[in-house]
Amino acid sequence: MSVRVFIADDNGVLRGGLCALVDTQPDMDVVGEAADGTEAVLGVHNTEPDVVLMDLTMPNGGGLAAIAALTQAGSKARIIVLTVHDEIGYVRAAERAGAVGYVVKSAVDTELLTAIRAVAQGGTSIASSMCSTPTDADGKRATADLTGPELEVMRRLVEGLTNGQIAEELHLGVKTVEASRSSVMGKLGLASRSALVRFALDSGVLTTGVHAA
């Protein structure tokens, strides 16, 4: 029986290439595709695939929120994160949300099909370049001074949303979002947005409260 694969990525060209790659395999079939988080959740519910390829950075909530929503809804689909991010923190965040595989887009041609087959059979698959065992940062004390709204802004920054998208989701002004981000960075002693993202992932900020699209 063929492995039923659903592909979620906001890059139409890449998504088309992935569909073509998967459909050329005699033991795989593409059963659906999506361009954002909301479409991904609805599409997976409707098609009931065996495996989902999920991009992390997409509109309408992003991949992490979509993974969490599917997991919380009891979806039996096995989710592989497909992303350009090669930092181990993203792997931990994806695992917390419910993913069982992680493939960096630069390694699609060598690792993706193997990963699909592995997770379809009940296993897990992490990109070979990211197999080191990380040590989780103790972020609870570091984030104790952050307000609820500041944590919400941080979570959405990690999910890849822009300031404008965050403002729309939280019903805030863009300047308010910018101020919250600056406040978070100041309290945590971080100097850049990339450092903030790494900290949010490593500290376990996303272990609870990941919002659905």
Exposure string over 128-153, b if 16+ CB within 10 A, otherwise e: eebeeeeeeeebeeebeebeeebbbb
Answer whether residue 143 is part of any domain. Answer: no
- Of 99, 130, 161, the one marking the end of a domain is 130
pTM: 0.63
Asked if 29 and 68 sit in the same domain, the reply is yes
Q: What is the pLDDT of residues 88-108, one digit of tens each?
A: 667 777 888 889 988 888 888
Highest mean pLDDT among 49-58, 151-160, 179-188: 49-58
Amino acid, res. 89: G
1 Cβ contact partners less than 8 Å away, ≥ 6 residues apart:
none
Contact 53, 67 (CB under 8 A): no
The reported pLDDT for the residue numbered 4 is 97
Q: 152: domain range? A: 148-207
Answer whether residue 136 is part of any domain. Answer: no
Asked if 88 and 10 sit in the same domain, the reply is yes
For residue 16, what is the domain's CATH number?
3.40.50.2300
Asked if 98 and 13 sit in the same domain, the reply is yes
The reported pLDDT for the residue numbered 212 is 36
Count: domains in the chain: 2
Asked if 22 and 123 sit in the same domain, the reply is yes
- Of 130, 157, 190, the one marking the end of a domain is 130
